[in-house]
Amino acid sequence: MAAGRAGAVLAALGVLSVCAASSSGPVAEGGGGGKAEWAEPWDGAVFRPPSALGVARALGAPRTGREEAVDLPVLLWWSPGLFPHFPGDSERIECARGACVASRDRRVHRDPRTRALLFYGTDFRASDAPLPRLAHQSWALLHEESPLNNFLLSHGPGIRLFNLTSTFSRHSDYPLPLQWLPGTAYLRHSGPPLQERAEWRRRGHAPLLYLQSHCDVPADRDRYVRELMRYIPVDSYGKCLQNRKLPTARLQDTVTATTEDPELLAFLSRYKFHLALENAICNDYMTEKLWRPMHLGAVPVYRGAPSVRDWMPNNHSIILIDDFESPQKLAEFIDFLDKNDEEYMKYLAYKQPGGITNQFLLDSLKHREWGVNDPLLPNYLNGFECFVCDHELTRLDAEKAHAASPGDIPVPEPHIAQLSHMDCPVPAPGIGDVEEIPENDSNPVLTRDHCICLIFIWPHLEKGSTHNGAAVP
């Protein structure tokens, strides 16, 4: 989703800015594992941003006129980057507990009916924040992206500005850890036979694929891949560490690794192993870099979410980079699997009937309220709006109950977001220690000064210190 262009982050967090400066086709099955098989969408757009989905807004009731929405709670989207996702300035939405009005008209900011302000994390900037906060309003954050898009939200003072959250973390209020996984049929999709992949190898291609055009990211993945290349052949097609070109001029125009073009998918499926390294390391942050190789029948060689084992279809479906003491040891293991078909196929057992044995994964897919390009379910953007709507209706009822009987019913306590809602450790080098990073390193996210800033400045901010006279939240 496009980032907005607002200003800098809250003045109380400004010290970090100083430091830093030195996916059309519907899913063929519902969430949990129906018998329908996955069908590749004809236009390749498996994963599109929620703003483009156009899912019906009314969930259980017909749309009604604006005049009937006079007394409904208003949810004001403060971030412009997600729009338009409904026509006009506002629209009534029907949710489980009742109705609200979703709006993007900032003129209603101070209206007493405006009960919640909704922010998209990538667009959140302090210079544009509606301060001072109004006492009757909740702040709600939708930020399914990694810290690469707004790293301040990964720290306590940033995330605790919000009452409600929807992030990749299972611990957020409206969690989105499986935002890139359409369903179990997507995982069961069969890949090319081993004979075809063996022929691909005989034609001079490497066992390992790397397709990445976003270089110099917090996870410092290119540094690790560069070292791995010393011990095993890697075909790298993106802008990062490129040593091969994609087979056609059209595919060579691909600027990211998220394209779901059918021609590209067919090409990528010929590789037995895909290097799948996320742009940031956060618990539960898993993207198409992980799920797409599994869909294609390749084995992901993965570095990303430390919690990734919790979500895998079984306990033998990916190779975790961090399980190996060095890139050389990892290369030796991949070479062993490349030469032993029986051992290799154990990593694809989840594609067989009954092969998905992780009940936590199955239950999570079955019970989520939203779908991935599923016309029968809301997308998570609409689902998030209804989650906030229901929360505000509940809060209104609690406030009315207190007003009717203040001596017996207390004022409802505010809900405050926690650090676990964006659970991301401080960035670390892809290999080696911070002290080993050269002075002229090309990765601006991982310069030694920046790492030292993050390691030593943030703990003091977390303890409620002040900066330029302003108390850190």
The model's pLDDT over 113-154, given as tens digits with 9 standing for 90+, comes to: 999 999 999 999 878 889 888 999 999 999 999 988 888 888
Strand order in the sheet with 164-167: 90-94, 99-103, 74-77, 114-120, 138-143, 164-167
Q: Mean pLDDT throughout 289-307? A: 97
Determine which helix (DSSP H) or strand (DSSP E) holds 384, and give its type and residue range: helix 380-404
At residue 436, the 3 state secondary structure works out as helix
Domain covering 184-365: architecture? 3-Layer(aba) Sandwich (3.40)
Q: What is the pLDDT of residues 369-417, one digit of tens each?
A: 999 988 888 899 999 999 999 999 999 999 999 999 999 999 999 999 9
Q: Mean pLDDT throughout 4-17? A: 30
Strand order in the sheet with 299-303: 234-236, 208-210, 273-277, 299-303, 319-320
Residue 297 and residue 438 in contact, taking contact as beta carbons nearer than 8 Å: no
CA dist., res. 290 & res. 293, Å (int): 6
What pTM was computed for the model?
0.80
In this prediction, residue 13 carries a pLDDT of 28
Query: Of 391, 132, 359, 172, whose CA–CA distance to 282 is shortest?
Result: 172
Query: Of 133, 9, 113, whose CA–CA distance to 69 is shortest?
Result: 113
At residue 119, the 3 state secondary structure works out as strand
Please, which pLDDT band fits residue 54 given cuts at 50, 70 and 90?
very low
Q: Which residue has the tokens 């919000």?
A: 162
CA dist., res. 361 & res. 299, Å (int): 18
At residue 473, the 3 state secondary structure works out as coil
